[in-house]
């Protein structure tokens, strides 16, 4: 099915379809985890932000559940609408050929279980559609299409996107920009046949998207995730767990460090797990991240960058040695350790809770 929607109809579809399964509780949890990473304020209204952002930014969409596509259309069906149609029609063809949900495992349940893999698949899907969109533009766009596009981009305003936190702007563009680079690398090496192979053996991590030469051989390392439910007491509950990945490691460091340093420090990522906890009665959080790095050089590079990150975010170090550092101030207690080619980061409201978590964690973490 194909639909042409007005901007008003789009907002209703955004709320009914895109945000229907994104509950206020999930938005709360996401905001808390992002605040623990230093990327958002704790009280940031993520749900309403996404509603406003998608209404502003979405020019079209494909819905794999009802196998329908829609394009936002004004008075005319001109260049912007035609290029959006090419992009969304590609998604329909992807679904018809590869079955995005059941074939690729690109659905809400599996994405919640492995967000890192899901981010990589999304980058493949969007990068593929963006490359085809580019090829359509070069091959079929008329002079009138080009004129329409020039006029559209000259007058287009995006106050919601422009006011978004830096990391969110980068993250929203990741599947399109990094995905395009990934797919274009495959295409230049082996044409569309090489892209087809990627759907049969999908990328598993944002590391592979950022470094196409590491696909498919350099798979992420899975670490054993401990059960810390009894460590903090009954008032605490685990609100989230998952994999940060190279991309979000880079975004986290980049919030307080120059981009070049963040990129270099995150590049040797090999695998990780994180756990986030919340005490509702006291409105306090705790966070654990254990990461594995490809080489000893990589973990030392991350160590150096994290100490600078810690100084910039948390203030003067309380303790510092060759393999350990800690910070203690208004933001709470922060512990960083490096052993072998792994690194540990604990963020807690006080040293007592931080040390309780440290004692309960097996570090270095065994691999699965």
Res 19: pLDDT: 78
pLDDT in tens, the chain (368 residues): 778 888 778 778 777 777 777 888 999 999 999 999 999 998 899 999 998 998 888 888 998 888 889 888 876 889 999 999 999 999 999 999 999 999 999 988 889 889 999 999 999 999 999 999 999 999 999 999 999 999 999 999 999 999 999 999 999 999 999 999 999 999 999 999 999 999 999 999 999 999 999 999 999 999 999 999 899 999 999 999 999 999 999 999 999 999 999 999 999 999 999 999 999 999 999 999 999 999 999 999 999 999 999 999 999 999 999 999 999 988 899 999 999 999 999 999 999 999 999 999 999 999 99
Collapsing DSSP states into helix, strand and coil, what is residue 215? coil
The closest of 316, 322, 240, 307 to 278, measured between CA atoms, is 240
- Does 334 share its domain with 284? yes
Helices 79-98 & 166-200 angle (0-180, nearest 10):
50
Question: Do the domain assignments include residue 141?
Answer: yes
Asked if 46 contacts 154 with a C-beta cutoff of 8 angstroms, the reply is no
Q: How many helices (H) and strands (E) does the chain have?
A: 14, 10
Nearest to 246 by CA among 340, 178, 314: 178
214, 245, 271 - which closes a domain:
214
Does 17 share its domain with 59? Answer: yes
Sheet with 68-72: list strands edge to edge.
2-5, 68-72, 60-63
Euclidean distance between CA atoms 26 and 46, whole angstroms: 9
Distance CA 270, CA 214 (A): 11
Domain range for 331 is 236-360
* Structural domain contains residue 32: yes
CA dist 300 and 342 (Å) reads 10
Alpha-carbon Rg for the chain, nearest whole angstrom, is 22
The token pair at 267 is 């590049």
Same domain, 137 and 27: yes
212's CB contacts (< 8 A; 6+ apart) are: 181, 182, 185, 186
3-state secondary structure of 181: helix
The residues that bridge with 367 in the sheet, in sequence order, are 223
Question: Is 275 a domain residue?
Answer: yes
CATH of the domain at 262: 3.40.1000
| Same domain (yes/no): 252, 194 | no
Is residue 86 domain-shared with residue 201, that is, in the same domain? Answer: yes
Q: Are residues 203 and 350 in the same domain?
A: no
Final residue of a domain: which of 214, 248, 272?
214
Residue 121 belongs to what H/E stretch?
Answer: helix 115-140
Domain boundary among 179, 214, 249: 214
Q: For residue 364, say if its preceding peptide bond is cis, omega within 30 degrees of 0.
A: yes
In this structure, the answer to whether residues 76 and 177 fall within a common structural domain is yes
Q: What are phi and psi of 65, to 5 degrees?
A: -70, -45
Interatomic CA distance for residues 223 and 254, integer angstroms: 25
In a domain, 88, yes or no: yes
Query: Does residue 27 fall inside a structural domain?
Result: yes
In a domain, 365, yes or no: no
**Please, which residues have CB within 8 angstroms of residue 123's CB and are 6 or more apart in sequence?**
174, 175, 178, 179, 182, 203, 206, 209
Shared domain for 246 and 209, answered yes or no, is no
Query: Looking at the structure, do residues 196 and 319 belong to the same domain, yes or no?
Result: no
Question: Is residue 230 assigned to a domain?
Answer: no
Cβ burial of 278 (10 Å; 0-12, 13-18, 19+) is: buried
**pLDDT score at 244:** 98
On whether residue 219 sits in a domain, the answer given is: no
- Residue carrying structure tokens 């792994």: 342
Same domain flag for 204 and 134: yes
For tokens 């020019």, name the residue.
Answer: 59
For residues 208 and 246, membership in a common domain is answered with no
Closest Cα to residue 61, out of 101, 11, 114, 124? 11
Tell the burial category of 79 from Cβ atoms under 10 Å away from its Cβ (0-12, 13-18, 19+): buried
Tokens standing for residue 345: 């980061």
Contact indicator for 136, 151 with CB cutoff of 8 Å: no
> How many domains is the chain built from?
2
Does 97 lie in the same domain as 55?
A: yes
Widest Cα–Cα separation across the chain: 68
Cα(220)–Cα(293) distance, integer angstroms? 10
Instruction: Give the number of other CB atoms < 10 A from CB of residue 63.
Output: 18
Please tell me the pTM assigned to this model. Answer: 0.95
pLDDT value of position 75: 67
């Amino acid at each position: 099915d194909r639909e042409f929607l007005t901007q008003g109809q789009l907002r209703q579809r955004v709320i009914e379809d895109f945000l229907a399964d994104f509950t206020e509780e999930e938005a709360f949890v996401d905001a808390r985890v992002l605040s623990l990473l230093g990327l958002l304020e704790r009280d940031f209204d993520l749900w309403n932000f996404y509603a406003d952002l998608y209404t502003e930014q979405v020019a079209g969409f494909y819905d794999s559940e009802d196998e329908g596509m829609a394009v936002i259309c004004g008075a005319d069906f001109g260049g912007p609408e035609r290029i959006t149609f090419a992009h969304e029609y590609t998604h329909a063809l992807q679904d018809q050929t590869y079955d995005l949900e059941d074939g690729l495992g690109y659905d809400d349940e599996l994405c919640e279980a492995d967000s890192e893999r899901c981010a990589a698949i999304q980058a493949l899907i969007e990068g593929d559609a963006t490359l085809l969109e580019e090829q359509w533009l070069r091959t079929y766009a008329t002079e009138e299409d080009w004129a329409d596009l020039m006029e559209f981009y000259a007058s287009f305003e995006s106050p919601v996107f422009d006011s978004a936190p830096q990391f969110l702007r980068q993250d929203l563009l990741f599947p399109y920009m990094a995905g395009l680079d990934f797919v274009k690398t495959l295409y230049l090496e082996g044409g569309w046949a090489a892209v087809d192979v990627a759907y049969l053996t999908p990328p598993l991590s944002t590391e592979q998207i950022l470094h196409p030469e590491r696909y498919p051989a350099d798979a992420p390392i899975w670490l054993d995730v401990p059960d810390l439910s009894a460590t903090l007491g009954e008032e605490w509950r685990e609100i989230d767990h998952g994999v940060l990945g190279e991309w979000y490691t880079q975004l986290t460091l980049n919030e307080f460090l120059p981009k070049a340093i963040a990129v270099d420090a995150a590049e040797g990522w090999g695998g990780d797990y994180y756990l986030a906890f919340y005490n509702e009665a006291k409105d306090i959080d705790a966070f654990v991240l254990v990461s594995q790095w490809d080489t000893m050089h990589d973990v030392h590079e991350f160590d150096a960058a994290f100490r600078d990150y810690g100084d910039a975010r948390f203030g003067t170090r309380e303790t510092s040695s060759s393999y350990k550092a800690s910070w203690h101030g208004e933001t709470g207690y922060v512990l960083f350790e490096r052993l072998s080619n792994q690194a540990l980061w604990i963020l807690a409201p006080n040293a007592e809770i931080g040390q309780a978590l440290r004692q309960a964690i097996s570090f270095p973490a065994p691999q699965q």
